[in-house]
Amino acid sequence: MRSPSSSKDDLQRVVAYQNTAGAAFESTFWQMARHVVNHSSYHRGQVATLLRQLGHRPPATDLIAFFRETESPTARD
């Protein structure tokens, strides 16, 4: 089992990668994780907009709404 300090160190780990155009970048793991969450929010908004334009009512896109629908408020890990 990892100690809490090693988890914090993992978040600060620098990851080298290339974008789809081939440009090289380096970012910390925590920055990349935040980007993934933020970017997925962007796409959920796009899908909701498209559904509305097609005359449909999109489902709730907030994470808290998902938890309310799928978990008991007293559920614990």
- 26 located within any domain: yes
- 29 located within any domain: yes
Q: Indicate the range of 28-37, 49-58, 62-71 predicted with least confidence.
A: 62-71
The predicted pLDDT at position 66 comes to 82
Is residue 61 very low, low, confident or very high in pLDDT (cuts 50, 70, 90)?
A: confident
**Separation CA 27–CA 14 (nearest Å):** 5
Is the model's pLDDT at 13 over the cut of 80?
A: yes
- 65 located within any domain: yes
- 76 located within any domain: no
Ramachandran angles phi, psi of 75, nearest 5°:
-65, 140
Are 10 and 29 in contact by the 8 Å Cβ rule? The answer is: yes
Count structural domains, the chain.
1
Domain span at residue 29? 4-70
**Separation CA 67–CA 74 (nearest Å):** 11
- 45 located within any domain: yes
- 77 located within any domain: no
> SS3 for 73?
coil
Are 51 and 45 in contact by the 8 Å Cβ rule? The answer is: no
Q: Indicate the range of 38-42, 57-61, 67-71 predicted with least confidence.
A: 67-71
